[in-house]
Structure formats: C-alpha cells, structure tokens
Homo-oligomer: A and B are copies of this chain.
Amino acid sequence: MIFYYLDLLGVAVFAVSGVLAVSRRGLDLFGVLVVATLTAIGGGTLRDLLLDRHPIFWIADPIYLLVIAVATLGAVLYMRIRSHPGKVFLLADTLGLALFTLSGAQIAESLDMSPGIVVVMGTMTGVAGGVMRDMLSGKIPLILRRDIYATAALAGATLYLLLQALTMPRSWAFAFGLAAVVGLRLIAILHGLRLPVFRIP
C-alpha cells in the first residue's frame, strides 16, 4: 500500500520536473500537460512493457492521470509566483529518480527476477522518464552530465537488495534505498562530487 502512494508521488514529482524543464519554451498549457504526462509515465510504462505487466499501471488505474494533471497545474501556478526553477527542478528530478528506481526494483523482485535484473530494471525505470523529458525538450540528458546520476540509481537499487539479503524487512530496505539515491545525488550536487571520470588520457 505504501508502495502505491510512493508510486503516485513519483509520478507527481516527475510531472513537476517535466513542467519546469519546458517552462521557458513558451508552450501552451496543454502542450505542457503532454510533456509532463510523458515524463511522469515514461519510466513506469517502460518497466511494465519490459516485464509484460498489463494493463500498464496508468491504464489500470486512472488516478495516476489525475495526479499528473493536478501536479502539472500546481507547478504552473507555482511558476507564476517563483520564477527560478533550478533548485526545485533538481529536487523533483532527484525524488522522481529515487522513487522510480526503487519501484522498478521492487516490482522486478516481486516477479522473482535475478538480482542483476532487479538492479538493471530499477535503474532503467528510474532514468527513463528523465531521459525522455530531456530529449523531448532538446536538452542533453541529465544521465550524460558529469555529476552522479545513474550511479545513484544503481547504488540505491543495489542497497535495496543487499539490505534484504541481510534480513532487513522490505519496506525498510525500500526506505534506505530511496535515501541512498536522494542522498548520493544531493551530496554530489551540493559538493560538486564526481566519481573518477572515464576520459581519454
């Protein structure tokens, strides 16, 4: 049940990040709604397609679309008051990354996938929505920037499995996994931390 609400939250924050990503593009309101929707359901839709889970989560349960509409409207109104989307964007994107990574991992795990698949599925679910948003809005995907991004997703999904292997209950492991993704990403942003970069000598 808690997973369901977290999934709704993930959809909402990714919708917000979609709104902020195109906030300077001069789209009309419905155009913004379409971009927000694609961002919000991209990762989970890919997850469900890959795992052959039908109906897709937002087709099975229309509440998701309602949440997206409300989150989009809220973000649009917020933008009329406060005009610097930078920090809020990074926060919404980070929270969305964390929530979808863990939900992707948890669902793959509940289908008895092997640990490697669980981690890959989690990471892919987490990064897909943001990649679609960035490519749609003509930006370089965050995944290709130098700060810790995919790495945070990978670490969170791995931690989630590891803690359960150490007999921690699933919901606690989920929470620690979330915290790991958010923490790693925010620390990396705040302190400009980077993993050793792969670069041609």
Q: Residues of A at under 8 Å CB distance from B?
A: 22-35, 37-38, 45, 49-52, 54-56, 58-59, 62, 65-66, 76, 79-80, 83, 85, 113-114, 116-117, 120-121, 123-124, 127, 131, 135-138, 140-141, 143-144, 146, 148-151, 154, 194-201
Contacts and interface: CB of A to CB of B under 8 A. Distances in A.
Contacts of A54: 52
B59 A143 contact: no
How many subunits of this chain does the assembly comprise? 3
A195 B30 contact: yes
Contact of A196 (B29, B83, B143): B29
Given A26-B197, A28-B195, A65-B116, 6 more contacts: A29-B196, A38-B124, A49-B49, A50-B59, A65-B117, A131-B136
A192 to B, nearest CB: 13
